[in-house]
Amino acid sequence: MNITQIHRVYFIGIGGIGMSALARYFAFINKAVAGYDKTESPLTKEMVRSGIDIHYSDDINSIADEYKNDTAHTLVVYTPAVSSSHTEYQYFLNNGFTIKKRSEVLGLITKDSFCLAVAGTHGKTTTSSILAHLLKETGVKMTAFLGGISEDFNSNFLLEGTAYSVVEADEFDRSFMQLTPNVACVTSMDADHLDIYGDAQELERTFIDFTKRLKPGGKLFVRNGLPLEGLTYGIEDDSDYCIRNIKIEHGTYIFDLETPDLKLEGVEFNKPGRHNLLNGLVAFAMAMQAGPPPHRLAKALATFKGVQRRFSYKIKTDDFIFIDDYAHHPTEINAVFEAVSEMHPNKKVLVIFQPHLFSRTRDFADEFAKSLSQFENMLLLDIYPAREEPIAGITSKWLLGKITSSYKEIISKEQIISEIKKHNPAVLLTMGAGDIGLEVEKIKKEMSYAG
C-alpha cells in the first residue's frame, strides 16, 4: 500500500481509541476521512467537530458516494471488534477495496520511522503516554498513537514529526506482530485474551515472537522477572535500570534512578502506585534511546499529568476522593488496591466495578473474586459484553457469589449516585473497561455539587 496514492480512508469502528488515533492521523495529512461506529461517544463527537463524517447505523446508504465509488484510492480500515458479517464490511470486501486491520496500517505508517513500541498485558497506555510526554518535553519530534487520552496532550494522538514514532504493541488478535520496532519493552505477560490464545503458554510464545521483530541492533527492555532476554528494569533489585530509596512526600514519589551508566538522585513522579513507577522507569529507559539528556528526561518525569481513566483523580478534597481507573483484569485491580492503600491508608473505600467480557469473567472468575474481595465495600454492574454474545451462567450475580467483601451488591447504572450517597465513602473508586467511563462525569458533577 502506498499512502500517497490513497485519497480517502473509511473506518469501520472509528470510535475505538486506537482507530480514532489513526483517523486523526489521516485527517492531519489531508486525507478525506469518514467512518461508522455503533455508538456516539465523546471521541466521535470530537472527530465530527473536526470535520470527520461519522454515522451510527450499519447502512451502506449512509456512506458517501466518493468512498463507495473509488476502489483505487480508498483505503478501508477495520477493527477486529467488528463482526465479519457487518454489512459495510461485506460491501467493501466484495467490491475490490483495499481493506486492512488497524494493526496492519499502524505497522505500515511506522515501519520507516525510529519506532518505540510498548508491549504488555498491562501498562501499555500509561507507559506509552509517559514516553510520548518525555520525548515531547525534551524536543524529540515524533508521532504518537496512544490507547488512551493523555492528560498532557488532551488527545490520543500527537504528530510533531515523523522521524520517531511511539506506539502501543497490542497483543489482542496478535496485532503487535505487524510492528517492526527499533526499541521495545514488555511490561507484563499475565494470561489474558484466552478467547484468542487458548492458554497462557501460547500467549507467552507470541510475546517471544514479537520480541524477534525488533530491527537489527534494536533494544528490548523487560520487567525484571519475565522469561524474556533483554535489559531489565525494576524496583530495589538487580535490574539494569532500577529505582531505589523511594520516599512519598505530599502524594509524590521521590527516588533515585540508576542506569548502567549513571545515577540520578531526587527524581520525582506524581502517579500513585508501584506499577506506575515501573511504567515511568521503562518509559525513561526507552526515551534515552532517542538521545535526550538524562537529566532533562528526569525533569520531564516530574511533570507527567497522567492518562484519562488510569488512576485519574476526578475529585480530591480533604473530605472526599473520587478515582477512576480502566482496570479490567485481576492484576490491574490488585495494582489499584495497592496504590489506594499506599496513598490513602485507613480510609473507607467504596468500589464500583463493571466486568468486561463474558469470556474474561469466566476465565478469571476466581482471580477476580480474590482481587475484588480486598475491598470491603463492593458494588458490581452487569458484565459489559463489548464484542461478545452472552455465555450461559456467566453473570455478575454469579461472580458476586465468589466475592467475600463485607458489603457486596449488584446495582444498575441508575442506582450509582444513590448508592454512593448511601455509603458516604471517603474514597470512591470506579473501575472497568466498558461504558462505566461514561458515568464518570455524571458522578463527578453530582458529588461535587453534593460536597
Residues in the annotated binding site for ATP? 120-126
Which grid cell sits at 226? 519475565
**Element spanning 22, H or E:** helix 17-28
Which grid cell sits at 78? 477495520
Reduce the DSSP state of residue 396 to 3 states and report it.
helix
CA neighbor of 80 nearest in space, from 101, 98, 106: 101
Q: How far apart are CA 138 and CA 86, in angstroms?
A: 44
Q: Does residue 15 contact residue 44 with C-beta atoms inside 8 Å? A: yes
CA neighbor of 115 nearest in space, from 170, 175, 169: 169
Distances (CA, A) of 360 to 170, 329, 368, 392, 443: 17, 8, 10, 14, 27
Binding residues, by number, are: 120-126
Reduce the DSSP state of residue 78 to 3 states and report it.
strand
Q: Does residue 146 contact residue 130 with C-beta atoms inside 8 Å? A: no
In degrees and rounded to multiples of 5, residue 408 shows phi and psi of: -145, 140
Distances (CA, A) of 436 to 305, 309, 317: 22, 10, 23
Q: How far apart are CA 21 and CA 129, in angstroms?
A: 13
Task: Report the amino acid identity of residue 51.
Answer: G
Q: How many CA atoms are closer than 13 Å to the CA of 156, on its beta-carbon side? A: 24
Reduce the DSSP state of residue 449 to 3 states and report it.
helix
Q: Name the E strands within 30-111.
A: 32-36, 53-55, 74-78, 98-101
Which grid cell sits at 439? 458515568
To the nearest 10°, report the CA torsion of 44, 49, 53, 55: 40
SS (H, E, C) 133-144: HHHHHCCCCEEE
Q: How far apart are CA 282 and CA 6, in angstroms?
A: 36
Number of neighbours of residue 30 by Cβ within 10 angstroms:
8
